[in-house]
Amino acid sequence: MQYEEEEDRRNNALIAIKVLDSLAQREEERVSSLFGEESDVSKVFSSFTHGDYTAVRYIPDKQAIEVDRRDGITLEPWKLSGGTYDQLYLAIRVALAKQVIGEDQGFFLFDDPFVKSDPFRLRVQITNLYELVQNGWQVIYFSTKPEVREKLNDLLNSRDFHIIELPPAPFKQDSLS
């Protein structure tokens, strides 16, 4: 009797392991489907970087992302500049949102996503965000950088775009001690 119970537990454990392995493999495939040379992530990232980067790949064995530069060099994300890393992160978020939502449009809520961007990158990234808006997406963008407001004013004078300036948060001197 005890042998049969142990055998049942062993068989149940093996079945559970197979189910969990199957679920893990499906999740790995879903993650992998976001990436690759013709993927949305690669297309968006290439657009954001004006073609400086051509592909974003997910390497399942390493559980890591790699990007290909136009010159054929492959880099891990941590080797990218801060601004390029931000562009990659945004490209992944945009592609993931498109995959999750499908044909519908949704919204993005950003808190200074381009804080490390130089003026050129900032212009490109804001232009790309505006393209999302023109395609029906809503974008709420919080920033403390004056240059973001300037770029927004320069680029996006339209009815689809509104700047709402929030007053500075009141701080009590006592609360900082």
The pLDDT value recorded for residue 156 is 63
Q: In angstroms, rounded to a whole number, what is the distance separating the alpha carbons of residues 152 and 120? A: 13
What pLDDT does 44 receive? 87
Q: Quick one: pLDDT at residue 24?
A: 64
At residue 54, the pLDDT reads 94
- For residue 172, the model assigns a pLDDT of 65
What is the pLDDT at residue 173?
62
129 burial via Cβ count (<10 Å: 0-12, 13-18, 19+)? buried
What are the residue boundaries of the structural domains of the chain, listed by start?
33-160
Q: Report the pLDDT value the prediction gives residue 30, as an integer from 0 to 100.
A: 65
Report the topology of domain 33-160. Rossmann fold (3.40.50)
**Predicted local confidence at residue 56, as pLDDT:** 94
- Could you say which residues of the chain have pLDDT below 70? 1, 21, 23-32, 155-160, 171-177
